[in-house]
Amino acid sequence: MSVQQQVSDTPLARKDCLAISRFTPGEIQRLVDKALEIKKKHRDGEAFRPLTGKTLAMIFDKPSTRTRVSFEAGMAQLGGHPLNLNRNELQLGRGESVPDTARVLSGYVDAILIRTFSHELVTELAEHASIPVINGLTDTHHPCQALADLTTLKEEKGKLAGLKLAYIGDGNNMLHSLLEAAAATGIHLAAAFPEGYDPDPVIVSQAQETAAQTGAQITLTRDPREAVVGADAVYTDVWASMGQEEEKERRIRDFAGFQVDAQLMSLTKADASFFHCLPAYRGLEVAAEVIDGPQSVVFQQAENRLHAQKALLVELLG
């Protein structure tokens, strides 16, 4: 059975969204297809409010534009109520334990979204909560962004399995989630990163094991040109993420030669798309001529955060 055929008609078997690897290939395909279905309803102005009466607690330890606005707007559009929280507004900020906070919130709301630094904190929250917990971003994983990326790829190319996606940049949380997403959906992922910025070898190994079952290919290289040859899409991320600002100058030097520019894009397929999870820094990881050019889908990709997350919320809570 192909990856494209492994789409389950049953609700998600897992109550949390902690990492892409926690979902089966069929569940991922189901989420992508539902996201595109929900987007069409949204564009057509069709009322779709299956989460009326549901409440989502949103905890933010990191600044956010796309995650906060897309989840808040999405929950409201689905008929639910988003409750925006900050750690300093909770007893977490005064030392209450994560297990106690999880148990208390489980009695008040229907799901928890958290955007924070430590992935272990999110897994601990999920372990003690009796309601779904959604990882809005940690230093290790960014599953909601990867779901939006898969949605955009499917929307642009009409399929996932067999596509080649090139990732250029830091072996960070974004690459970790893309590795898991590509492996599960049959995408050939070629990632190029400088020495010292490799992705977590455990996540790479697990992705390779999954890829062996789905027909995906995982290629790791130090050469951006090698990675992008024949690619259907090219993806990059900032060189210095939140919390790494003091490393910015060193990282700029280390990532010399890793900018996605017109010359690099010329090695891809003629109809290749450019992806960036945003925010972007023109002149660093990407040239303005690329991100603002005709191959760029970054704002379509950003909009699809809304629809992919609405699909996730419906599957987890509906």
**Residues 12, 14, 20, 25, CA torsion sign:** negative
Query: Annotation-wise, does 66 bind a ligand?
Result: yes
**Catalytic one among 115, 176, 251, 307?**
115
In the residue annotation, 5 being an active-site residue is answered as: no
In the residue annotation, 142 being an active-site residue is answered as: yes
* pLDDT reading at 5 higher than 70: no
pTM: 0.95
In the residue annotation, 115 being an active-site residue is answered as: yes
In the residue annotation, 128 being an active-site residue is answered as: no
The domains found in the chain, sorted by start residue, are 20-141+305-317 (3.40.50.1370), 145-301 (3.40.50.1370)
In the residue annotation, 145 being an active-site residue is answered as: yes
Res 15: pLDDT: 86
pLDDT in tens, 25-83: 999 999 999 999 999 999 999 999 999 999 999 999 998 999 999 999 999 999 999 99
Contact present, 188 and 211 (Cβ < 8 Å): no
Cα–Cα distance, 8 to 31 (Å, whole number): 10
CA distances from 275 to 280, 292, 298 (A): 11, 11, 5
**Catalytic one among 30, 305, 307, 309?**
305
In the residue annotation, 253 being an active-site residue is answered as: no
Closest CA to 236 of 247, 224, 226: 224
**Catalytic one among 61, 237, 251, 309?**
237
**Catalytic one among 277, 295, 301, 309?**
277
Query: Annotation-wise, does 17 bind a ligand?
Result: no
Cα–Cα–Cα angle for 311, 314, 315, rounded to 5 degrees: 85
pLDDT in tens, 219-258: 999 999 999 999 999 999 999 876 677 788 999 999 999 9
Instruction: Classify residue 79 by its DSSP letter.
Output: T
